[in-house]
Amino acid sequence: MNELLSSFLEYLSVERGLAKNTIVAYKRDLKSYITYLRTKDITDINSSNRAIIVAYLLEMQKKGKASSSISRACAAIKAFYHFLFREHIIREDPTVDLDTPKLEQRLPKVLNTQEVKKLLSQPDTSNPLGIRDKSMLELLYATGMRVSELISLSIEDVNLETGFLRCMGKGSKERIIPVSSIALKCLQEYILTAREKLLMGKKTKVLFLNRQGNPITRQGFWKIIKRYSKQAGINKKITPHTLRHSFATHLLENGADLRAVQEMLGHADISTTQRYTHLTRSRIKQVYDKTHPRA
């Protein structure tokens, strides 16, 4: 079964062109499922069936796994069996008409504009690292990029003259995003004054570097944003994705077109973007309840 899994993952990478992080998630979910099959003494994929798949998902539920995790595992299993059936490795697909567990609607956590302002003002721009941090934070909030997209940026992806940057999103889909004047100014300062110092004579086209002159990692940036949020006294759990959520919410609160926000975020399905409209409505209701004399 491990060989079948390897073939499936290669198919996702080569033929489907899925992002590395997505493939890693599929691999993790399917390895867990295969381990479960082995505990049931199932070593031939043809011996598995719909009842076993449902039992596995129910066991995940009993273990207290989040509905999002169960839903993702279900999607991975369905894709795996569909691939095996298409390749004539299994005689029938046991996941046909298998319902994916319904997710509870969880609204993303966002910062208000004052909290964003506090966070973005924390870096000390008197040194190269502070200039870099300021540029990265401003750019995340200005564009709504994913952190993986931010740290993958090349210096060639940025056009300071036009105020746009090129971003490679999920599935290697390219999109062009406008950059705010403030973020553009910070980015220009970083490129002209700080990046060369961080390079330390090394040669790389990667835009954002760590103190050793190597590309900054997701973990490295997570530590940066965690430190600044604590420094700003923001009593909310903040992740790098929080600025992406805040970007989308603040645009929609100020009347931005939903399709335009979808394009900037790189969402394949507009329903993913629509969850931010639910968030803005809930905020409007809070304001109404708090301020209307008869609320």
User: What is the set of active-site residues?
Assistant: 146, 170, 241, 244, 267, 276
DSSP one-letter string for 124-169: -TTSHHHHHHHHHHHHHHHH---HHHHHT-BGGGEETTTTEEEEE-
3-class DSSP state of 68: helix
Type of residue at 14: V
The pairs formed by 54-58 with CB atoms below 8 angstroms and a separation of 24 or more are: 54/98, 57/101
The phi, psi pair for 215, rounded to 5°, reads -60, 135
| Of the candidates 48, 39, 41, 40, the residue with the CA atom closest to the CA atom of residue 4 | 48
User: How is residue 258 written in tokens?
Assistant: 């939903």
Torsion of CA 34, 35, 41, 46, to 10 degrees: 0
DSSP H or E run through 177:
strand 174-178
